[in-house]
Amino acid sequence: MFETLIKFFNFCDAENRKKFTGSIIVGIFNSLFMALRIGAVAVMLRGVIAAAIDGTAFEMNTVWLSFAIMCVSIIGGIITRKVTSMWQCEGGYRTCAKKRIEIAEHLRYLPMGYFNENSLGEITSVTTNTMESVGDVATRAVMMVFQGLLDTSLIIVMLFFFDWRIALVSLAGFGLFEFVNLFMRVAVRDVSAEKIKADAAEIGKVLEYIQGIAEVKAYNLAGKRRRELNSVIEKRLKILIKMEMRCIPVSNLQSLVAKFSGVAMMLASLYFYLAGTMDLANCSTMLVCSFMLFNALEAGGNYSALLRTIDIGVTKASKILALPTMNIDGKANAKNETSLDVSNPCGNNIEAKNIDFAYDKRKIIDNISLKIPANTTTAIVGPSGGGKTTFCHLLARFWDVDKGTVSLGGKDVRDYNMDDLMKNFSFVFQNVYLFHDTIANNIRFGEPDAPMEKVIAAAKKACCHDFISSLPNGYDTVIGEGGASLSGGEKQRISIARAIMKDAPIIILDEATANVDPENERELMNAVTELTKAKTVIMIAHRLKTVRNADQIIVIDKGRIAEKGKHDELVKKGGIYARFIDSRKEAVSWKI
């Protein structure tokens, strides 16, 4: 139990750890105030019993003293409970909010291969369900478990001042309760892990079903996919029921132990009174205490079963945060030189020297060397799966090369601060992702504080101002997640407007015009032309008109550069590029 709580405390950042530490300290005072009730009861019972035995009038001073102690207990308890609750809630929820942000920032600097190895459902589950459970469950569990232990411990300590024998009986009951509670934590240990895993599987399957709904409908797979989704949901339901069924018997046993411990205190008190070794006042006080002692402990004990969920959640989040990131600050050295700033690099020449890259033990890039002069256009073509996109990702340092070097302006890209390096690249991908936000905010994504005039200017250059203006709310129109409410060509042009707004010196176009309908093609090509003016352009393309005027054309096949040259030179060679051109011409000549 304490290992889990310590792990959670270490998981918290310094500010929120102070809140939890403070809440525990205040919780001790809360327990002291709760224990004062025993004193108030004892004062009253002694006064009543003394008056009855002596036959004297009951003194009002006793009433006022008992009332004063009870008032201090109640008011102090309310104040301290409010403070501990607020600090623990703030600490729990703020910790998880910060950890979500920290995980998101950490994911930015992980190699792209991580996202291929790990499902979207797993990542989403950790940042949503898992962190939600940690924030919600941890706050309640820490508050209830700790407070239950504190309240019970302090009451037992106070009992030693009344009668050490009854205190020992209560201490034995406390030990037996914790022993039974250990079985509860053991009982849910493996089920908690199954629950976290089932949560990730359910989210992954739901995302897969929603994102692939078009294919599901097109290929009449609704029944099969729905059965798969239902199966995952049903499995998670069974795991949740299994967890409850394991907790309920142990929870009931805990309750019985608490109740029987109270009964044992009552019987022991009566026995000692009848044996003449305990006075009536103490006996009456112990009888009252037997009802008070285990209430807080019992409530906290039921929550302790959730500590395993906290443990697993913290472990999963910490595992992501412990993943080694790429060196984002540039190379450090003994002289403590600052990392290079490439916001205005000395030239935008790009050079790859003998680079290799393998993914999952499969070599994708094999000893490629290439120079890309500044302000030139380089077209990359080749068979699907040949390594074109991976090569471009290596140039922009989405991954680090396994061997060789990639340099920008004569400096190894690994020497640059990652954020500064990214300022020099703009990307337009074949599959554009737009965020669930206004069109204006999607365009100014790389420059959040850009004025509206600059947004409109970028949109006009990208040939998307007219269709945006025709929308009901214009630039304030909120588009669906992923740009679901826009056509492919419209999304591409907004993506280009975003890149124009960034105004980076190097543009990478990854088959940006591959799936554009003829109606949008001319406007999209105009947008691309506007984007690439006076820039270093690297384009992956399958269309003849987009590559034939390039300064150099690179043909990548099976991870190697198979051909290199200009359009006319490569056509004369009669190799892969020539066959590519012939197939493009044949496709264009097809008529329906």
| Cβ 126 vs Cβ 114: under 8 Å | no
What is the pLDDT averaged over residues 313-342?
Answer: 62
**Which residues are CB-neighbours of 467 under 8 A, at least 6 positions away?**
490
Spatial separation of the C-alpha atoms in residues 564 and 550, rounded to whole Å: 12
Report which of 306, 107, 118 is spatially closest to residue 200, judged by C-alpha positions: 118
Q: Could you tell me the pLDDT band of residue 335, with boundaries at 50, 70 and 90?
A: very low
What is the pLDDT averaged over residues 91-120?
Answer: 75
Predicted TM-score of the model (pTM): 0.62
Task: Please compute Rg for the chain using Cα positions.
Answer: 35
**Which residues are CB-neighbours of 229 under 8 A, at least 6 positions away?**
205, 206, 209
Spatial separation of the C-alpha atoms in residues 198 and 264, rounded to whole Å: 44
Residue 539 host element (H or E): strand 536-540
- The percentage of residues in the chain with a pLDDT greater than 70, rounded to a whole number, is 80
Spatial separation of the C-alpha atoms in residues 57 and 79, rounded to whole Å: 36
Question: pLDDT tens for residues 3-27?
Answer: 677 777 778 878 888 888 888 888 8
Question: pLDDT tens for residues 166-194?
Answer: 889 988 988 888 888 777 767 666 777 77
What is the pLDDT averaged over residues 86-99?
Answer: 82
Spatial separation of the C-alpha atoms in residues 97 and 89, rounded to whole Å: 12
| Cβ 253 vs Cβ 187: under 8 Å | no
Alpha helices, H only, 462-575: 465-469, 488-502, 518-531, 544-547, 567-573
Helix pair angle (488-502, 518-531), 10° resolution: 10
Spatial separation of the C-alpha atoms in residues 44 and 26, rounded to whole Å: 28
Range with lowest mean pLDDT among 173-177, 340-344, 570-574:
340-344
Q: Is 289 exposed, middle or buried (0-12, 13-18, 19+ CB in 10 A)?
A: buried
pLDDT at 518: 59
Look at residue 250 and tell me whether its pLDDT is greater than 80.
no
Spatial separation of the C-alpha atoms in residues 542 and 388, rounded to whole Å: 12
Look at residue 419 and tell me whether its pLDDT is greater than 50.
yes
Dihedral of the alpha carbons of 416, 422, 423, 429, in degrees to the nearest 10? 160
Residue in this structure with the two tokens 């409010």, named with its chain if needed: 82
pLDDT at 287: 83
Instruction: Give the rounded distance of the alpha carbon of 291 from its chain centre.
Output: 44
Spatial separation of the C-alpha atoms in residues 229 and 234, rounded to whole Å: 9
Q: Could you tell me the pLDDT band of residue 519, with boundaries at 50, 70 and 90?
A: low
Q: Could you tell me the pLDDT band of residue 75, with boundaries at 50, 70 and 90?
A: very high
Question: pLDDT tens for residues 155-168?
Answer: 888 888 888 898 89
Look at residue 99 and tell me whether its pLDDT is greater than 60.
yes
Look at residue 222 and tell me whether its pLDDT is greater than 70.
no
Residue in this structure with the two tokens 């042009």, named with its chain if needed: 493
pLDDT at 592: 45
What is the pLDDT averaged over residues 417-427?
Answer: 83
Helix pair angle (131-162, 14-54), 10° resolution: 30
pLDDT at 513: 62
Spatial separation of the C-alpha atoms in residues 349 and 372, rounded to whole Å: 6
